Each structure stands twice: as structure tokens, then as C-alpha cells.
Amino acid sequence: MILVASELGEVLSPPVRRIREWPDGAIDVEVMLKNGWRPRPFRQFILKVHSRCNLSCTYCYVYHMADSSWRGQPTVMSRETLAATVHRIAEHAEEHGLPVVRVVLHGGEPLLAGKEYFGHMAATFKDVMPPDVTVQFSIQTNAVLLTESFLKIFLEHGIRVGVSLDGASVVHDRRRVHADGRGSYDEVVRGVKLVTSPAYRHLFGGLLCTVSLDADPIATYTELLSHEPPAIDLLLPHGHWSGPPPGRAAGADSTPYADWLIAVFDRWYSSPDPPEVRLFQEIIYLILGGASNTEAVGLTPSSLLVIETDGSMEQVDTLKSTYEGAPETGLNVLEHPLNEALRHPSIVARQLGLDALAPVCRRCPVVKICGGGYYPHRYRRGSGFRNPSVYCPDLLRLVQHIQTRLRGDLERLDAENDA
Ligand code: SF4
């Protein structure tokens, strides 16, 4: 049984408690454990190998939103911290019998760590991880610094490469800029060309694109397709009720992001051989009764942990878009096993599924598919994270559109089978 204190008064700290934002003070993990709840182990680790970036993208949640903790972080994860991180991951994998863990090398811009860093990192994992645990590496980069010598190292260690590209140059260069305002499109495309050259193409994990309402959706999708990515991640820009995303007034009924995404969905869905577009595929799996592999939609418990360059364990780093210090757990790989983070109320909150959602979400007809939206997008100053997503009308419309398309196809198939 899951106990969420705002509904089960017995686990609150009586008689008076400081008013805090949900889930702070509202979840009693000890009581939950006594009642049989068990956390889901971490399986995906975001390693912040470098805390600075060579770009200054206008919407970046690390440098341009509520949290400024990057200023106090070491620029590079030291070898000592890296070794402690790998030992903790190995310990966690062994303790929970995990056959596979995913390690995402992230920043800032991870390539700033230098190519030798990645060889050393891979060797450390090889030395420390139990032989029966597979480590799947990937790196998320802006690709500006990507060279063949990096790719040779990635090839040697099987590190897949994801690149951030926001569409055509006119759109990308407005947002993904250097500190002096210069666009980065040409440099990024040069990097994409390198990783899609025959020797490295199999390392290419795909493109990550943050949706921009001022960009034409089909032109954006066509630009992304032109690089033949195996997968495309379409991300909603980060925002919440107290700091809404661009073009979205909190609480308004309009659906600008759904309209944008639906235009892409319809093109993607009608194509004979489309790449994976994870958001759409996850929604389809969920409609068909499956589970999601992303926190963006669905009720699957989160199993992701972020390790900062100083070894701090953090919740999902996009929480930096909400308020100063939001992702912190107060734990560090140098002193604490990862299991301690599994008991942190804010991490528990992201494993509660339906029990973490606002009443309006629980009553929603698409709740099992939408899942209340991405956790940071639910934030409202004063009440915390127990709200519907600031994107609620967009999510409802997108899910219902995909449901309608699927239902139509399934009915047509039924009719054909009956004929
Ligand atoms: S569509 Fe809105 S109300 Fe429904 S689950 Fe999603 S965020 Fe909650």
C-alpha cells in the first residue's frame, strides 16, 4: 500500500507542520516501507561529466532558469568522483540484480571534458562493474566540438551519440547560440555529418529537438528527417504554472503545443518508414495497454538518477527550471550508497504513479496515458508538484488525437478481417 500523507493524515508529522510544497513533508517513506512498498532501483544514470557549456541556448534550464547551482560545481567530474560514482553504480546493480544499466554522459557540454576523459571513464567502468552487468553508454552533445578523434573513442567503447538540433538554421540559430549570440547550426550540422558518416553511423542515437512554436512543425520535422536519424526526441520547452513556457498562458484552454505536435504526428504516422519519434511511440504503447519508457508520459515509476560533477546525487536535472535547489537530495556518491536516494521523498514521489497526481488528473479520462505530464511541468509555487501539467490542455488534445487515429485504424482492420 502506498501512503501519501496529504490523503492519509496518520503519516503527517503532527500536530502542526510547516507549510511546504508537495511532496516535501508529505510522504513518510518509513511508513510506506513498513507497509510493504518497495522502491524501484535506478537503472539510468545521467553523469554530469562537465558542468559548463560552450553554448548559451536561450531556453537552457541549467544556465537560464531558476537554479544557479552550476556556479558552485567543479567544471569537470574529477577522477576520484568518477571512480566513486562507478563503484556506487556497480554496488547498486549488484544489490538489485540489474542485468543492464544505462549511463548517459551529459553536461553542460560533455565534450568539454576532453577525449581522454571518455577513454578513462570507459576503462573505469570496465574495471569496476560486475562482469554480468551490461553498461549501455550514450552521450548527449551539441556536437559543436565533435571530431573524428572523439568518435574513434566512442567507437572503441560503444558510446552512442545523441545530438541536439532544433530544426532549420533560421530556428536553430535563434535559440542554440554561443555566448556572443552567434548561431551554432553550421557547426552542429558538421558534427551530425561526422557521426552519420559510414564508419560511425551505427553510433548515431538520434536528434533531440526542443519544440518551438515560432517554427513551422513540418519544416522542422523535414529538417530533422534530412539527417536520417534513427530516433527523434521532441521535447516540450521547460516551464510550469509559476513560469509558463513560451506561448502558453497557464490555465488557458488553447493548445498551441498540441497543434504543433499533431501536425508532425500526422506526417509521421502516415509515412511508410519513419524514424522512432519517442513521444508518439510511447503514447501509442500506452494507448495499447503497455508501459512507457520515459517520464514525459505514462505512470511508469522513474528510475533515473543524476550525478553532478561534485558527486552529488540529484533528482531529474530539469527540475532546475522550477526553483533554486529543486533537484538536490543532500546525498553524494563519496559518502552515500545510491539506495539512500531511493528513500528520498522527492524521488519516491516520482515512483508513486497515480498516487502522486492531483485529483483532477486522477479523474482524467487519459490519465494512464498522459500520467499528469512531465514532473517538473507540474510545479506551482506554494503547492509544489501535485498539479496537472502546465501543458494539460495540450496533452489531453494530443493523446485524444492519437487515440482517434489508432481507433480508426483498428476499426478498419477489424472490418477488413471480418470481410
Ligand atoms: S491531460 Fe491534464 S488532467 Fe489529464 S492526466 Fe494529463 S495533466 Fe492531468
pLDDT per position as a tens digit, 301-322: 999 999 999 999 998 877 887 8
- Report which residue type is found at 135: V
Q: Whose CA is nearest to atom 2 of ligand 1?
A: 392
Q: How far is the CA of 355 from the centre of ligand 1 (A)?
A: 14
Residue 2 predicted with pLDDT over 50: no
**Does residue 158 contact residue 135 with C-beta atoms inside 8 Å?**
no
Q: How far is the CA of 254 from the centre of ligand 1 (A)?
A: 14
Summary mean pLDDT of the chain? 92
* CA gap 201, 223 in Å, rounded: 18
Residue 199 predicted with pLDDT over 90: yes
Q: How far is the CA of 257 from the centre of ligand 1 (A)?
A: 14
Residue 3 predicted with pLDDT over 70: no
Calculate what percentage of the chain has a pLDDT beyond 70: 93
Three cell numbers written together for 37? 512498498
Three cell numbers written together for 329? 537530495
Residue 13 predicted with pLDDT over 80: no
337 or 13, greater pLDDT: 337
Helices (H), 99-216: 115-128, 148-157, 169-175, 185-195
Three cell numbers written together for 56? 548559451
283 lines ligand 1 (CB under 6 A): no
361 lines ligand 1 (CB under 6 A): yes
Count H helices and E strands in the chain, helices first.
Answer: 14, 10
Residue 16 predicted with pLDDT over 80: no
Q: For 71-75, 103-107, 354-358, which range has the lowest pLDDT when averaged over its residues?
A: 71-75
Q: How far is the CA of 1 from the centre of ligand 1 (A)?
A: 24
Three cell numbers written together for 206? 538520434
pLDDT band at 290 (very low <50, low <70, confident <90, very high): very high
Q: How far is the CA of 298 from the centre of ligand 1 (A)?
A: 10
The pLDDT of 274-285, averaged and rounded, is 97
307 lines ligand 1 (CB under 6 A): no
pLDDT at residue number 12? 33
14 or 306, greater pLDDT: 306
Q: How far is the CA of 362 from the centre of ligand 1 (A)?
A: 8
Digit-coded pLDDT (tens) for 157-191: 999 999 999 999 999 999 999 999 999 999 999 99
* CA gap 202, 195 in Å, rounded: 8
pLDDT at residue number 70? 66
**Does residue 319 contact residue 378 with C-beta atoms inside 8 Å?**
no
Three cell numbers written together for 208? 533531440
**Does residue 192 contact residue 184 with C-beta atoms inside 8 Å?**
no
Residue 288 predicted with pLDDT over 60: yes
The pLDDT of 383-406, averaged and rounded, is 97
* CA gap 86, 45 in Å, rounded: 10
Give the number of other CB atoms < 10 A from CB of residue 45. 24
Q: How far is the CA of 400 from the centre of ligand 1 (A)?
A: 11
Residue 19 predicted with pLDDT over 70: no
Among 415, 150, 398, smallest CA distance to 287 is for 398
Residue 17 predicted with pLDDT over 60: no
396 lines ligand 1 (CB under 6 A): yes
pLDDT at residue number 64? 59
Q: Whose CA is nearest to atom 3 of ligand 1?
A: 361
The pLDDT of 380-393, averaged and rounded, is 96
pLDDT at residue number 63? 60
The pLDDT of 80-107, averaged and rounded, is 98
* CA gap 19, 184 in Å, rounded: 45
pLDDT at residue number 15? 36
Among 196, 187, 261, 268, smallest CA distance to 229 is for 196
70: CB partners within 8 A, 6+ apart: 51, 52, 62, 63, 108
* CA gap 364, 383 in Å, rounded: 20
Spell out where 177-264 has E strands: 204-210, 231-235
Q: How far is the CA of 336 from the centre of ligand 1 (A)?
A: 36
Nearest ligand 1 atom to the CA of 364 is 4
Spell out where 289-352 has E strands: 304-307, 312-314, 328-332
364 lines ligand 1 (CB under 6 A): yes
- Which residue segments constitute the domains of the chain, with CATH numbers given? 1-38 (no CATH), 44-400 (3.20.20.70)
Whether residue 14 has a cis bond before it, omega within 30° of 0: no
β-partners of residue 162 are 140, 206
Q: Count CA atoms within 13 Å of residue 265 on its CB side.
A: 23
**Does residue 276 contact residue 231 with C-beta atoms inside 8 Å?**
yes
Give the number of other CB atoms < 10 A from CB of residue 66. 18
395 lines ligand 1 (CB under 6 A): yes
Q: How far is the CA of 263 from the centre of ligand 1 (A)?
A: 21
Digit-coded pLDDT (tens) for 219-242: 999 999 999 999 999 999 999 999
Burial 275-298 (b: 16+ CB within 10 A, else e): bebbbbbbbbbbbeeeebebbbbb
Nearest ligand 1 atom to the CA of 367 is 5
Among 276, 291, 390, 311, smallest CA distance to 86 is for 311
346 or 362, greater pLDDT: 362
Residue 398 predicted with pLDDT over 70: yes
Among 220, 408, 375, smallest CA distance to 300 is for 375
**3-state DSSP helix/strand/coil % of the chain, to nearest 5:** 40, 15, 45
Digit-coded pLDDT (tens) for 138-155: 999 999 999 999 999 999
25 or 334, greater pLDDT: 334
360 lines ligand 1 (CB under 6 A): yes
Q: Whose CA is nearest to atom 1 of ligand 1?
A: 396
Spell out where 242-327 has E strands: 276-277, 304-307, 312-314
Residue 41 predicted with pLDDT over 80: yes
Three cell numbers written together for 149? 578523434
347: CB partners within 8 A, 6+ apart: 39, 302, 305, 315, 329, 341
pLDDT at residue number 72? 76
The pLDDT of 207-217, averaged and rounded, is 97
* CA gap 131, 335 in Å, rounded: 25
Phi, psi (degrees; rounded to nearest 5) at 398: -65, -50
Give the number of other CB atoms < 10 A from CB of residue 315. 22
Q: What is the DSSP code (8-state) at residue 300?
A: P
pLDDT at residue number 325? 83
Whether residue 23 has a cis bond before it, omega within 30° of 0: yes
pTM, entire model: 0.91
Calculate what percentage of the chain has a pLDDT beyond 90: 85
